[in-house]
Amino acid sequence: MPREAISAPTKRPVFQLQRDIRISFPSTSLSVRRALETVIGSLAALSLEPEELGTVELVLAEALNNVVEHAYGEGERGWISLECAHRPDGLHFTILDEGKPMPDGIAPIGLRIPLPEELDALPEGGFGWFLIQDLSHDVQYFRTGDINRLSFRINIGVTLLPN
């Protein structure tokens, strides 16, 4: 008689990525779309909730479109590299590009969300950094030589077990 499983696991099973995700693509909004598809497809191995995948897709879309629209900008060509590593404390993302540095050399985080009555003064699309800062952790930006390096962690797929 086949043996039954001794006890059903009560916590969520731990899934791992086989390897880190590394992709490079040209700086266009359509390439960003395809890159998001690739990353979301690769993360299927982690059996995340749709809501968690939605968070990853949104934060990545904001960070990558920021590169397309501001680091490179209209009519400027360039490459974007994206890396994703699964670690016990979540998903670590690094985005590299060779476009213009961030204004003042810092990522515009730490700003508050505009109030509805301030909308008239708000540039459209000015919500991107609010979403990044709301949904991710440890946001770091460095300019090294000609390279922008933005990294952040998203608190999902966490495998650190509480004591």
Partner 1 sequence: MIVTVNALRIDAAVAIQFKDQMRAALDEAKGRVVLDLAQVEFVDSSGLGAIVAAMKQMHGGAKLELAALRPNVDKVFRLTRMDTVFPIHLAAEAAVHPHAS
Footprint on this chain of partner 1 (rule: CB under 8 A)? 29-30, 32-33, 50-51, 54-55, 57-58, 61-62, 65, 68-69, 113, 115-116, 119-120, 122-128, 130-131, 134-135
Question: In this complex, which beta carbon is closest to partner 1, that of residue 35 or of residue 84?
Answer: 35
Buried b (16+ CB within 10 A) or exposed e, 100-127: bebeeeebbeeeeeeeeeeeeeeeeeee
Question: In this complex, which beta carbon is closest to partner 1, that of residue 6 or of residue 115?
Answer: 115
Nearest distance in Å: CB 33, partner 1? 6
Q: For the chain, how big is the Rg over CA atoms in Å?
A: 18
Nearest distance in Å: CB 10, partner 1? 26
Nearest distance in Å: CB 13, partner 1? 23
What is the Cα–Cα distance from 77 to 68, expressed in whole angstroms?
9
Question: In this complex, which beta carbon is closest to partner 1, that of residue 85 or of residue 135?
Answer: 135
Q: Percentages helix, strand, coil for the chain, rounded to the nearest 5?
A: 35, 25, 40
Question: In this complex, which beta carbon is closest to partner 1, that of residue 70 or of residue 143?
Answer: 70
In this structure, what are the phi and psi dihedrals at residue 41, rounded to the nearest 5 degrees?
-65, -45
